[in-house]
Amino acid sequence: MDQKSLDFAYKYPFSDEAKALISDMGESKLEYRYLEAGKKHINDALNSHLQYLATGLTSAKTDYLVTYLYSRMLLSATKNRQLISQYCAAEAARSSEALSSSDITEIEAVVKELGIPMNVQPFSKELSLSIRFDAFLELSRDAKGFELSNQKLGNGFISLEMGRAIALLEKAICSKMSKGLPISADQLPKEVLEYAKGIRPAVDAEQKSPRSGASSWIEKLLVTPIPDVRHRTVNMILAPYLVTSRGMSVEQATKAITAYIEKCKTINPNTKVTERYIEYQCAYAKKRGLKPLSFDRAKDLLGDVLDLENAK
């Protein structure tokens, strides 16, 4: 099996490469372990625990692809479009996380896979992406922070710095993953239909019981972009929470918060929060063993930008 193709499929399971590799694995009987893995995978997605993890293990990548296939069958069997939508959004966020650290060749391949008229090009020390005007309008529909008045337009193309471009591509990935779902019940094995009956209660239970030691309102914050007070949110809440409460390394926490700030830019692109600032705050929180703000103090800080009462 071509390792380069496998790696691409693992990062972007919606791709033609992924479909081809799954097909090459051949017909096989349903396996209980993949039904279990698919169920856990769905729960991870619905509870914001789905992350892209770089690995060199062939078995880990092939297992992910098969689990992705089982997850789609199980979700289809639930006939719950809200669950399907939430799952696809989580998978799209995982793929965009992988895309954010990829090179220009891989970005071009994903853009081609999505069938979007875009050009990827060097821009200062970073990459930028220009998207045809009509395609931009289609993708940015109902997306805050992508109003035409804030864009750079020239020769029929909108130019975006890479962080914002990937946020837009994430919407396209989500849309692509949603295609073909739900799969018709008459195309699903009876074992899948039976097993899917246990999915919703398991999801509900996990949503009511956050991971051990976690603060549910901070987990909510991590998936909810905010337009302001980002400096203090990083150094007083997110950095201490990720490195102290969740035990992440400085590198892991920096990456997670940087991705969060990129999502915040889709609402308000004006920010002075840099990756260097985030890394410093994570290292400082680690060194001092800092803890995040209490819920009551966080309400004073974030009350105007986030409904914390409903996130608690």
Any domain includes 310: no
Domain match, 233 and 292 both: yes
Any domain includes 307: no
Domain match, 289 and 240 both: yes
**Which pLDDT does position 198 carry in this prediction?**
67
Tell me what percent of the residues of the chain surpass a pLDDT of 70.
84
**pLDDT band per the 50, 70, 90 thresholds, residue 145:** low
3-state secondary structure of 28: coil
Any domain includes 312: no
**Which pLDDT does position 203 carry in this prediction?**
35
| pLDDT over 60 at 211, yes or no | no
Burial grade of 64 (CB within 10 A; 0-12, 13-18, 19 or more): buried
Any domain includes 270: yes
For the segment 226-280, what is each residue's pLDDT rounded down to a tens digit?
888 888 899 999 999 999 888 888 888 999 999 999 888 888 888 888 888 899 8
Global pTM exceeds 0.85: no
Examine the fold and report which residue of 151, 183, 208 is the final residue of a domain before the chain moves on: 208
3-state helix, strand, coil in the chain (%, to 5): 60, 5, 30
d(CA 20, CA 24): 6
Domain match, 61 and 190 both: yes
**Which pLDDT does position 7 carry in this prediction?**
95
Q: Domain of 34? A: 3-100+175-208
Domain match, 52 and 200 both: yes
Examine the fold and report which residue of 155, 188, 208 is the final residue of a domain before the chain moves on: 208
Domain match, 155 and 12 both: no
Domain match, 152 and 295 both: no
Domain match, 22 and 93 both: yes
Domain match, 36 and 119 both: no
Domain match, 194 and 156 both: no
CA dihedral defined by 226, 227, 229, 235, rounded to 10 degrees? 50
Domain match, 165 and 52 both: no
**pLDDT band per the 50, 70, 90 thresholds, residue 61:** very high
For residue 21, give Cα distances in angstroms to 17, 99, 302: 6, 20, 46
Domain match, 65 and 194 both: yes
Domain match, 54 and 115 both: no
Domain count, the chain: 3
Any domain includes 308: no
Any domain includes 309: no
Any domain includes 44: yes
d(CA 146, CA 169): 13
Examine the fold and report which residue of 184, 208, 232 is the final residue of a domain before the chain moves on: 208
Any domain includes 36: yes
